[in-house]
């Protein structure tokens, strides 16, 4: 199974190094398991001018299983103020959970998250953010999100 | 004048018949790739070493095509809900083209 | 001998008298010595040196040596000429080594030199400094021994210098039948004593750069010398410190040569060994000593194929009891080489195996496609050898190639059972074979029919698959049957076959028409195909890009005049045999057609195209020679590096 994910990731990496979608930049790829990409919105939106970083962690069963994707929260980066993004960087998006499909990939996930941010009408944290952040598991993959918005 | 051909050693490539006709592009276009492993149909899935009959394709009723091994891996996970990865419709295998 | 010495010799008596009182003797002697030295003419040193030199070369001359030494001693001035004496010994050693050792390869010189040294030099020293010399009492036997060992050391150094200066040639000769190991054993022994490792690296490095790493040297020769250098230096210095210093410029140079990989790869795959197989049946591998190496294979067959170690994988195994720290003259980049496998070293020139594997795959694919008789056994064996070296995984692609071939044969048998066809395609898996030239060639007439029938039958056999032809690849064996009964049987390229197939429809074609009809091909390749048929006497050039079938022999006879043959222009002079004569004619018809169609061409281009002509491939020199003779005949002219046709 390991070769399965690494072959697919090698192909993705080659493609990303050649060309990233607009607003997406490959920041670091120490190995084939964990990549960091920066993400910004180029058009008009509430997040114009802000730059975020996404950390992808791929398991050995990728792409049959979804990768873990979080916004990086550290000295340099903050999680976007968005009703589906917790302040610890965890994202509540169906494509990363129950709506995952193996034909999705790093690029398409980034583009989906871009459009999720772009369609945001009010900058706010999800309901119960503080409680979630306090009790959240290390990986959002261990959280059972209830997707109340099918569009993401 | 007459030309008599005795023996012709030719070279051809085999292709999966995925419904595209004529001289498709020789390079991998998006349509020639298995959406799951992103390898060419005429290549093999990441767990195989030999392409072709040993690593066949599977045709869905929805017209989507994958390496059979890739699709079966996906369908075997509960998360797939037995849906086609492309259109999320219930997967049905087409018996013959 | 100078009269002065003789006269002094006779004064021994006086000497004895004076030695009565110890008090008076030393001041006397000192004064005496000073006076003697001040009397000696300036030429004395030179003369003495010449005399000493003579005492080496003459036969039995122990007496004369003793005489000189006694005289000098009694005058108390022996000690003053010590350095002169030392110099004489040095010079004698140099003379002897340079007289006996240069260019010796297959003989241990060291034992002989040592004998000579003990025999001559030590005796000489004993005569001069030895027994009972009053003024040199401290030269007892022990000291002579110590002294002698210093001179022996010098002798080793002289030999070592000589061998270092010859090392490049020694390495060149290394691959010869005579095993030059004795000379290397000498050098190794000398090095152990004299430690001239730096000098060796510097000297060999310089001569290698100067004599080998030149644009004129063929890559295969450089590789050969590199391999020999590796073998020789590994012998001299198993840890490889010396090699590292010498190899570095060679490796750098080879890295920049575009054909290096290709040549190494070509050598990795064993060549056809027709005779060897038979021999192997009779006796075991041991008999390979005097095996002819005419193929120029770089690699020693004695070495069992071992897994390749790429550069980055080299590590030091400190748990290995044989581990040793690198010698203290190791350069910073030096890493001990675990394997002594030459191929690993060659592969590591490029840092990684990947480039190599790629070239290997390409070369393997090309060889497989070149097989038409269906006998793949040898390649199967080669693949196994390569797998031992490179591991299974990188060569899986080659496995797929092999499988494609066997599958193709099986499929073909099934299809032939149903529809007998002259067409026997090799059906390959794209992505797994070296990329093949793309062509828009569309085959006409019966050729296309053959393809169609086969395609359909293939789809019956393999329901989900279809065929995509590589129309310009492969070969067609065919016979052209003329209306007058003449038959021409040839093996043609698909394009050539396609061209003649069109002529069976219509006896006359324009080059442009043909090119259009065959799938918008370029004119040149069609013209070359026409040349082929022209050289077979099947079509004729009517001029103005118009070609016509030669339907009868009569016509052929007439048309030889209208299309002048090479011989008529005197080009045949260049040929030495009837065979060559034939190719000269073909060349000329090629060149004429090329220049007619394309105007002006540089030599390289013409050479490239001549290689497409039937018959033996000319070398670049032959091409140039050919063009020059055509120029002398006034057929072509050469201007601004371009050849063009001179019309009559």
Contact C372 B9 (CB under 8 A): yes
Q: Is residue B10 in some structural domain?
A: no
Radius of gyration of chain A measured on its C-alpha atoms:
15
Say whether residue B2 is in contact with chain C using an 8 A CB cutoff.
yes
Contact B17 C465 (CB under 8 A): yes
Say whether residue C503 is in contact with chain B using an 8 A CB cutoff.
yes
Contact C503 B1 (CB under 8 A): yes
Residue C398, both tokens: 């080659």
Question: Which entry of A20, A92, A110, A120 is annotated as an active-site residue?
Answer: A92
pLDDT on residue C321: 58
**What residues of chain C lie within 8 A of the CB of B2, using their CB?**
480-481, 504
Q: Are residues C127 and C32 in the same domain?
A: yes
Closest CA to C158 of C106, C89, C233, C213: C89
Looking at the structure of chain B, the number of domains it has is: 1
Which chains touch C (3+ CB pairs under 8 A)?
A: B
Give A2-32 pLDDT, tens digit per residue.
678 888 998 899 888 888 888 899 888 878 8
Q: Which of residues 60-79 of B touch C (CB under 8 A)?
A: none
Domain CATH for C448: 3.30.230.130
Contact B26 C427 (CB under 8 A): no
Contact B47 A100 (CB under 8 A): no
Domain CATH for B41: 3.30.40.10
Q: Is A20 a catalytic residue?
A: no
Which is it for the CA torsion C355, C359, C362, C365, positive or negative? Answer: negative
Residue C577, both tokens: 């045999």
Say whether residue B46 is in contact with chain C using an 8 A CB cutoff.
no
Burial class (CB in 10 A: 0-12, 13-18, 19+), A33: middle
Q: Is residue C298 in some structural domain?
A: no
How many CB atoms are closer than 10 A to CB C56?
Answer: 18
Q: Are residues C469 and C542 in the same domain?
A: yes
Check contact A-C (3+ Cβ pairs < 8 Å).
no
**Cis peptide, bond prior to residue C232, ω within 30 of zero:** no
**How close is the nearest chain B Cα to the Cα of A150, in Å?**
14
Q: Is residue C276 in some structural domain?
A: no
- Counting as low any pLDDT under 70, the low residues of chain B are 20-31, 96-97
Q: Is residue B25 in some structural domain?
A: no
Dist. CA C331–CA A112, nearest whole Å = 55
Q: Which domains does chain A have, with CATH numbers?
A: 2-134 (3.10.110.10)
**What residues of chain C lie within 8 A of the CB of B52, using their CB?**
407, 429, 465
Q: Is residue B24 in some structural domain?
A: no
**DSSP-assigned beta bridge partners for residue C189:** none
Q: Are residues C549 and C614 in the same domain?
A: no
Dist. CA C218–CA C215, nearest whole Å = 8
Q: Is residue B1 in some structural domain?
A: no
Q: Is residue C13 in some structural domain?
A: yes
**How close is the nearest chain C Cα to the Cα of B57, in Å?**
9
pLDDT on residue C200: 95
E strand or H helix that includes residue A34: strand A34-40
CA A15 to chain centre: 18
Residues A109 and A128 sit within 8 Å (Cβ to Cβ): no
Q: Are residues C570 and C509 in the same domain?
A: no
B38: closest chain A residue by CA: A8
Contact C425 B49 (CB under 8 A): no
Q: Is residue B87 in some structural domain?
A: yes
Q: Are residues C13 and C135 in the same domain?
A: yes
Region A96-123: what's the mean pLDDT? 90
E strand or H helix that includes residue A54: strand A51-57
Residue that is written with structure tokens 């067959």 in the block? C301
pLDDT on residue C165: 94
Domain CATH for C585: 1.10.10.10
pLDDT on residue C560: 41
Contact B46 A8 (CB under 8 A): yes
Dist. CA C404–CA B44, nearest whole Å = 14
**How close is the nearest chain A Cα to the Cα of B74, in Å?**
6
Which chains touch B (3+ CB pairs under 8 A)?
A: A, C
E strand or H helix that includes residue C375: none
Q: Which of residues 539-598 of C touch B (CB under 8 A)?
A: 549, 551
- Counting as low any pLDDT under 50, the low residues of chain C are 1-21, 273-297, 300-303, 309-316, 338-339, 555-578
Q: Are residues C54 and C102 in the same domain?
A: yes
Contact C431 B42 (CB under 8 A): yes
Residues C613 and C531 sit within 8 Å (Cβ to Cβ): yes
Dist. CA C648–CA C645, nearest whole Å = 9
Q: Is residue B66 in some structural domain?
A: yes
Q: Are residues C611 and C528 in the same domain?
A: no
Dist. CA C203–CA C246, nearest whole Å = 9
Residue at which a domain ends, from C562, C592, C617: C562
Q: Is C102 left (phi over 0), alpha (psi -120 to 50) or beta?
A: beta
Give A19-75 pLDDT, tens digit per residue.
888 889 988 887 888 999 999 988 888 888 889 999 999 998 899 999 999 999 998
Task: Please tell me what DSSP assigns to residue C122.
Answer: I
Say whether residue A7 is in contact with chain B using an 8 A CB cutoff.
yes
Under DSSP, is residue A57 helix (H, G, I), strand (E, B) or coil?
Answer: strand
Q: Is residue B90 in some structural domain?
A: yes
CA distances from B62 to A102, B65, B85, C541 (A): 17, 9, 11, 59
Say whether residue A3 is in contact with chain B using an 8 A CB cutoff.
yes
Q: Residue A8 is nearest to which of B37, B74, B85, comparing CB atoms?
A: B37
Q: How many residues are given for chain A? A: 152
Looking at the structure of chain C, the number of domains it has is: 3
- Residue B61: domain span: 34-97
pLDDT on residue C7: 32
Residue C45, both tokens: 């040193």
pLDDT on residue C201: 95
Residues B37 and B45 sit within 8 Å (Cβ to Cβ): yes
Closest CA to C472 of B12, B26, B14: B12
A4: closest chain B residue by CA: B46
pLDDT on residue C113: 93
Say whether residue A64 is in contact with chain B using an 8 A CB cutoff.
yes
Q: Residue B3 is nearest to which of C424, C425, C501, comparing CB atoms?
A: C501
Residues C29 and C76 sit within 8 Å (Cβ to Cβ): yes
pLDDT on residue C392: 85
Contact A3 B74 (CB under 8 A): no
Q: Are residues C630 and C504 in the same domain?
A: no
Q: Is residue B95 in some structural domain?
A: yes
Give C311-363 pLDDT, tens digit per residue.
433 444 555 555 555 566 665 555 555 445 777 788 888 777 787 888 888 88
- Residue C591: domain span: 566-645
Q: Is residue C16 in some structural domain?
A: yes
Under DSSP, is residue A32 helix (H, G, I), strand (E, B) or coil?
Answer: coil
């Amino acid at each position: 199974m390991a070769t399965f994910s690494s072959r697919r990731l090698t192909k993705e990496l080659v493609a990303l190094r050649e060309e990233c979608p607009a607003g997406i930049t490959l920041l670091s790829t120490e190995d084939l398991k964990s990549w960091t990409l920066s993400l910004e919105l180029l058009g008009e939106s509430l997040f114009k001018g802000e730059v975020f970083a996404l950390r992808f962690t791929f398991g050995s069963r990728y792409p049959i299983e979804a990768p873990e994707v979080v916004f990086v929260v550290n000295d340099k980066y903050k999680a976007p103020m968005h009703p589906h993004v917790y302040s610890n960087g965890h994202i509540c998006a169906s494509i990363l959970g129950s709506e995952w499909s193996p034909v999705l990939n790093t690029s398409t996930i980034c583009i989906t998250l871009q459009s999720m941010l772009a369609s945001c009408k009010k900058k706010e944290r999800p309901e119960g953010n503080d409680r979630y952040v306090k009790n959240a598991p290390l990986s959002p993959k261990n959280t059972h999100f209830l997707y109340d918005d099918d569009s993401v | 004048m007459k030309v008599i051909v005795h023996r012709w050693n030719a070279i051809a490539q085999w292709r999966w018949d995925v419904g595209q006709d004529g001289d498709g592009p020789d390079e991998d276009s998006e349509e020639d790739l298995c959406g799951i492993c992103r390898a060419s149909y005429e290549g093999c899935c990441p767990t195989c070493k030999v392409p072709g009959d040993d690593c066949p394709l599977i045709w869905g009723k929805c017209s989507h095509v994958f390496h059979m091994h890739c699709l079966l891996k996906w369908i075997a996970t509960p998360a797939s809900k037995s849906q086609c990865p492309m259109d999320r419709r219930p997967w049905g295998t087409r018996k013959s083209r | 001998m100078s009269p002065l010495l003789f006269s002094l010799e006779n004064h021994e008596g006086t000497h004895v008298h004076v030695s009565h009182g110890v008090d008076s003797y030393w001041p006397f002697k000192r004064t005496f010595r000073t006076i003697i030295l001040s009397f000696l003419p300036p030429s004395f040193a030179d003369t003495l040196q010449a005399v000493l030199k003579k005492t080496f070369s003459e036969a039995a001359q122990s007496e004369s040596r003793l005489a000189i030494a006694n005289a000098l001693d009694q005058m108390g001035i022996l000690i003053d000429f010590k350095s002169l004496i030392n110099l004489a010994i040095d010079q004698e050693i140099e003379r002897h080594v340079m007289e006996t050792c240069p260019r010796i390869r297959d003989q241990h010189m060291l034992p002989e030199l040592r004998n000579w040294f003990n025999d001559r030099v030590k005796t000489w020293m004993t005569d001069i400094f030895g027994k009972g010399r009053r003024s040199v009492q401290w030269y007892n036997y022990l000291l002579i021994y110590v002294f002698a060992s210093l001179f022996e050391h010098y002798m080793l150094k002289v030999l070592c210098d000589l061998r270092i200066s010859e090392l490049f040639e020694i390495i060149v000769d290394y691959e010869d039948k005579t095993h030059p190991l004795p000379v290397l054993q000498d050098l190794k022994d000398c090095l152990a004593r004299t430690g001239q490792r730096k000098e060796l690296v510097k000297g060999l490095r310089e001569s290698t750069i100067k004599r080998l790493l030149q644009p004129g040297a063929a890559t295969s020769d450089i590789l050969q010398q590199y391999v020999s250098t590796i073998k020789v230096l590994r012998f001299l210095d198993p840890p490889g410190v010396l090699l590292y210093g010498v190899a570095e410029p060679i490796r750098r140079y080879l890295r920049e040569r575009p054909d290096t990989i290709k040549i190494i790869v070509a050598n990795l795959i064993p060549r056809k060994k027709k005779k060897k197989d038979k021999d192997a049946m009779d006796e075991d591998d041991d008999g390979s000593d005097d095996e002819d190496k005419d193929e120029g294979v770089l690699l020693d067959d004695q070495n069992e194929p071992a897994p390749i170690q790429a550069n980055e994988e080299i590590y030091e195994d400190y748990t290995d009891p044989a581990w040793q720290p690198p010698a203290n003259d190791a350069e910073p980049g030096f890493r001990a080489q675990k394997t002594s496998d030459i191929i690993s070293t060659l592969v590591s020139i490029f840092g990684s195996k990947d480039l190599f594997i790629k070239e290997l795959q390409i070369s393997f694919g090309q060889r497989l496609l070149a097989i038409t008789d269906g006998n793949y056994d040898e390649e199967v064996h080669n693949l196994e050898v390569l797998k031992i070296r490179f591991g299974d995984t990188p060569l899986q692609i080659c496995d797929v190639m092999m499988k494609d071939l066997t599958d193709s044969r099986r499929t073909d048998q099934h299809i032939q059972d149903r529809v007998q066809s002259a067409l026997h395609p090799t059906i390959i898996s794209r992505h797994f074979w070296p990329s093949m030239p793309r062509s828009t060639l569309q085959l006409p007439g019966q050729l296309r029919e053959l393809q169609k029938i086969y395609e359909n039958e293939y789809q019956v056999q393999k329901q989900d698959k279809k065929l995509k032809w590589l129309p310009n690849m492969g070969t067609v064996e065919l016979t052209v049957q003329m209306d007058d009964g003449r038959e021409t049987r040839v093996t043609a390229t698909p394009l050539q076959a396609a061209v003649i197939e069109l002529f069976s429809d219509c006896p006359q074609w324009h080059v442009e028409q043909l090119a259009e009809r065959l799938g918008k091909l370029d004119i040149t390749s069609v013209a070359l195909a026409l040349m082929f048929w022209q050289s077979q006497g099947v079509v004729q050039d009517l001029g103005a890009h118009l070609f016509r079938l030669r339907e009868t022999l009569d016509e052929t006879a007439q048309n030889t005049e209208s299309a002048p043959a090479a011989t008529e222009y005197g080009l045949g002079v260049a040929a030495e045999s009837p065979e060559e004569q034939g190719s000269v004619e073909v060349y000329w018809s090629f060149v004429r057609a090329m220049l007619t169609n394309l105007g002006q061409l540089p030599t390289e281009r013409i050479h490239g195209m001549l290689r497409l002509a039937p018959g033996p491939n000319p070398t670049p020199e032959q091409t140039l020679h050919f063009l020059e003779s055509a120029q002398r005949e006034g057929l072509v002219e050469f201007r601004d590096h371009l050849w063009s046709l001179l019309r009559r």
